[in-house]
DNA sequence: CGTTGGCTTGATACGCCTCAATGCTAGTGG
DNA sequence: CCACTAGCATTGAGGCGTATCAAGCCAACG
């Protein structure tokens, strides 16, 4: 099934997400919203940690470039990835009402975030609160969709759901919806989808074998989106 | 293992939750917070629907008595219970920024809610917004804890986690932490825990057989909380 | 060129799902 | 008061899907 490169050369620079001139309707925060503040910008390398659960929470962060994973940890060491976050998404909102962060946020690629100090948000920048509220509510709905998916779909279907979700989000940011570069490991993916990494690998291999996608390590090409989508509707 | 009644007579009236004189620190909304509005009150019978996904969203609801389940539905009919909600919890916040509700909310017992019109919240009652934000963030953290649990725990452990969680919540409302009356069906429980109803039954039966709890249909008595808790830490 | 981290694949085991039958309780109508 | 029913809960038998364990592979890197 593997027929050379997944990505044509013209797509190989999917890398760090470049600033996009037309923000996605409604959901993406951009600098135009904050004329009155010179926002702190922070760059991170892959695998670098933006914040950890338990650290004092003094700011939220807007992803401007790159990709982050957030994860929670139990007292006895069980870990779980709770989400992957692209440009325009807000990191740390879940701790909005808390003195410390509730999750870890780790860059999966060279990334850049803007810092929104909580002190500013609660004073001068309080116009933004409805916006934050909307993001919080949207996060809940997203979590619930995933809880639904994880509770009702098979391993392969979960992987398909993930690919389609990622493709749609990339597309809404102006990128190709067919060429995906998975910046996370199979283990991260498995943790998010409540699967073992071997199961993720097997699912991808099988999807490749049936021809709906082409897989080469972390490069994925979607070959038949319609068929992919149909795999979700009929159990 | 079953030795007569689970509940001593003195506990049998656990039924509809009576108003409680001392609200749980910080997290429970009560009437004292809204001196300026005469709140609409609404009573529902068991199985009655408070709102459904897709209906226009004009108000949030505070559970004052009884118990609700919320659930989401996919286009192709898969359903999943996203939570059970006791007195003091807010229903509908997940749709705060939306014109329509995003989930179904169904009473599992004779229940009572107070209505918080969105129009009021966005005008006169906007002092409450920080409060709502806190509830939203807390809901996200709760969802993540459950995602962690469902992704890392076995069937029996999930049931244990649910029982301990429910017991703690009941206790924080002033009720016994040992005598639980499950108002939901095994199917509801299974849907929430991502298990089949038979698996829930088997888990409960097995826990009963080992002596950590006593089960009689929907009545549960916790006999050894310490041992229950220890079942969660070592996989 | 060896090392390392991540990915793939195979063999096997086990936990949970599925299907099916039975039991229990509350509610209904004769 | 007692069949009768409907809805849930329980239990068992068997199969399937995913986890587990183990080995080998590949690409990146020092």
Q: Please report the residues numbered 167 through 196 in chain A whose beta carbons come closer than 8 angstroms to any beta carbon of chain B.
A: 191, 194
Residue in the block written with tokens 């017991």 = B167
Has residue A27 got a pLDDT over 60? no
Give the least confident one: A5-19, A88-102, A142-156, B199-213: A5-19
Å from the A172 CA to the C7 C1': 30
8 Å CB contact of B133 and A134: no
Q: What is the pLDDT of residue A102?
A: 97
Query: Of the candidates A72, A103, A136, which has its C-beta nearest B133's C-beta?
Result: A136
Has residue B25 got a pLDDT over 80? no
pLDDT, tens only, A82-131: 999 999 999 999 999 999 999 999 999 999 999 999 999 988 888 899 99
In A, which residues are within 8 Å of B103 by CB distance?
144
pLDDT, tens only, B206-223: 999 999 999 999 999 999
Phi-psi region of A149 (alpha: psi -120 to 50; beta: other; left: phi over 0): alpha
Has residue A10 got a pLDDT over 80? no
Q: What is the pLDDT of residue B15?
A: 32
Q: What is the pLDDT of residue B35?
A: 56
B154: distance to nearest CA of chain A, Å? Answer: 12
Has residue A171 got a pLDDT over 50? yes
Interface check A77 vs B, CB under 8 A: no
Q: What is the pLDDT of residue B173?
A: 97
Interface check B1 vs A, CB under 8 A: no
Structure confidence at residue A17 as a pLDDT band (50, 70, 90)? very low
- Nearest-10 crossing angle of helices A155-172, A225-233: 130
Q: What is the mean pLDDT of residues B11-38?
A: 42
Has residue A137 got a pLDDT over 90? yes
B74: distance to nearest CA of chain A, Å? Answer: 8
Q: What is the pLDDT of residue B19?
A: 31
Has residue B16 got a pLDDT over 50? no
By percentage, how much of chain A surpasses pLDDT 90? 78
Q: What is the pLDDT of residue A26?
A: 36
* pLDDT top residue among A74 and B4: A74
Q: What is the pLDDT of residue A39?
A: 79
Interface check B234 vs A, CB under 8 A: yes
Q: What is the mean pLDDT of residues B69-84?
A: 96
Has residue B10 got a pLDDT over 70? no
Has residue A2 got a pLDDT over 50? no
Q: Is the CB of A154 under 7 A from strand D?
A: yes
pTM of the predicted structure, to 2 decimals: 0.89
Q: Is the CB of A133 under 7 A from strand C?
A: no
| Total beta-carbon pairs less than 8 A apart between chain A and chain B | 131
User: What does the H/E/C string look like for chain B?
Assistant: CCCCCCCCHHHHHHCCCCCCCCCCCCCCCCHHHCCCCCCEEEEECCCCEEECCCCECCEEEEEEECCEEEEEECCCCCEEEEEEECCCCEECHHHCCCCECCCEEEECCCEEEEEEEHHHHHCCCHHHHHHHHHHHHHHHHHHHHHHHHHHHCCHHHHHHHHHHHHHHHHHHCCCCCCEEECCCCHHHHHHHHCCCHHHHHHHHHHHHHHCCEEEECCEEEECCHHHHHHHHHCC
- Nearest-10 crossing angle of helices A186-193, A197-210: 100
| A71 touches A104 (CB < 8 A) | yes
CA dist A17 and A38 (Å) reads 22
Q: What is the mean pLDDT of residues B11-27?
A: 33
Interface check A27 vs B, CB under 8 A: no
Which residues lie below 8 Å from residue A107, measured CB to CB, with a gap of 6+? A44, A45, A46, A47, A48, A49, A50, A66, A67, A68
| A93 token code pair | 């909102």
Has residue A35 got a pLDDT over 90? no
């Amino acid at each position: 099934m593997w027929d050379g490169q997944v990505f044509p050369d013209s797509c190989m620079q999917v890398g760090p997400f470049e600033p996009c001139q037309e923000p996605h309707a409604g959901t993406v925060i951009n600098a135009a919203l904050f004329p009155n503040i010179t926002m702190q910008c922070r760059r991170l390398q892959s695998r670098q940690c933006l914040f950890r659960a338990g650290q004092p929470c003094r700011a939220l962060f807007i992803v401007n470039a790159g990709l982050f994973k957030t994860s929670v940890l139990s007292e006895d060491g069980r870990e779980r990835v709770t989400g992957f976050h692209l440009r325009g998404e807000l990191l740390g909102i879940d701790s909005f009402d808390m003195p410390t962060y509730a999750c870890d946020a780790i860059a999966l690629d060279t990334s850049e975030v803007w810092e929104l100090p909580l002190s500013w948000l609660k004073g001068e920048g309080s116009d933004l609160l409805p916006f934050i509220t909307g993001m919080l509510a949207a996060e809940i709905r997203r979590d619930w969709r995933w809880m639904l998916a994880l509770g009702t779909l098979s391993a392969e279907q979960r992987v398909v759901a993930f690919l389609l979700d990622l493709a749609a989000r990339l597309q809404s940011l102006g990128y190709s919806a067919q060429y995906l570069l998975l910046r996370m490991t199979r283990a991260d993916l498995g943790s998010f989808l409540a699967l073992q990494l071997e199961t993720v690998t097997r699912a991808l291999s099988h999807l490749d074998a049936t021809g709906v996608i082409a897989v080469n390590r972390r490069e994925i090409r979607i070959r038949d989106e319609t068929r992919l989508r149909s795999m979700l509707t009929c159990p």
